[in-house]
Amino acid sequence: MREPIFTGACPAIVTPFDQSGAINYDRFAQLIDEQIAAGVDAICAVGTTGECSTLTLREHIAAVNFCVKYVNHRVKVIAGAGSNDTSAAVYLSQHAEDSGADALLHVTPYYNKCSQEGLIRHYEYIADRTELPIILYNVPSRTGVSFTAETYKVLSQNPKINGVKEASGNLSLITHTRYLCGDDFSIWSGNDDQVVPMMSLGAKGVISVVANINPKLMVDITHRCLEGQFEEAARLQLEHMDLIDALFCEVNPIPVKAALNLMGKDVGGLRLPLCDISPANLEVLRAAMERTGLLPASGAAQ
């Protein structure tokens, strides 16, 4: 059986910016240290939550390289390397490999809306040009294309393709994928609200947005699932559903950066076309964070 790249919780870590809009590497280092201290099992750098779409290629490569070097083998580092241009995806993959990353995260080619055969050819082309294991990333709400279970079956036969971050929300697809691919193709939840149901079907953990602000919660949920304690894991997930929902009240990573800033983490703003969270949604987020103990209740002594 192929070993999964990691089991448990992995933050899809934000990319902090300074006041000028440049990457704030000092803050990035602090965020990494906090995640590792909380017990996460891996870190995913420069993915969707890391604002890969608005970083230049040079910034993207530099941020991955910094994360790998700073983590220094304390946990696995998964480098975002996806693109809708196959040659660009190879370029990012090879730079991530040179940096010493442990694995790659490759989103489906967005905007092109390629066929299932196009998906197979895209990923096999990349796999032939890197030595790193690949995690596929299925998020059709952003890309306009989804894998089928049959395509997962074909790709699972490639030794470089380790599994998939599944963010389609389609539990039927996950069930059929598990049936066709078995344990030789790992699945990780890409949706924080579906960690427990997906792990009950055999998923290995989560690549998480919520972990940015509450890594211990996601570690506790995933590790309880791995230990077969699904009732306790479900209780934790359900207790925090308002927080999970609030972190997606606007498109990710707008709310999670707002949340980190509310916590005093000072991760800066966003790059256009992303913009600041609306005042109304900021209050929704603040209230959820207060209810779950991430912020003091309004009116409490500071």
Residues assigned a catalytic role: 137, 165
Which amino acid type is present at position 68? Answer: V
Answer whether 112's CB lies under 8 Å from 147's CB: no
Closest of 268, 275, 194, 262 to residue 233, by C-alpha: 194
Handedness of CA 182, 186, 190, 191 (dihedral sign): positive
The 10 Å Cβ neighbour count of residue 168 is 18
Token pair of 31 as six digits: 């965020």
Answer whether 77's CB lies under 8 Å from 71's CB: yes
Answer whether 115's CB lies under 8 Å from 147's CB: no
Q: Cα separation of 136 and 151, whole Å?
A: 11
What is the Cα 135 distance to its own chain's centre? 11
Question: Within the chain, where are the H helices?
Answer: 25-37, 57-71, 86-99, 116-127, 140-143, 149-156, 171-181, 195-200, 215-226, 230-239, 241-246, 254-262, 279-291
Token pair of 217 as six digits: 């919660």
Order across the sheet with 42-45: list the strands.
Answer: 8-11, 205-208, 186-189, 161-166, 134-138, 103-107, 76-80, 42-45
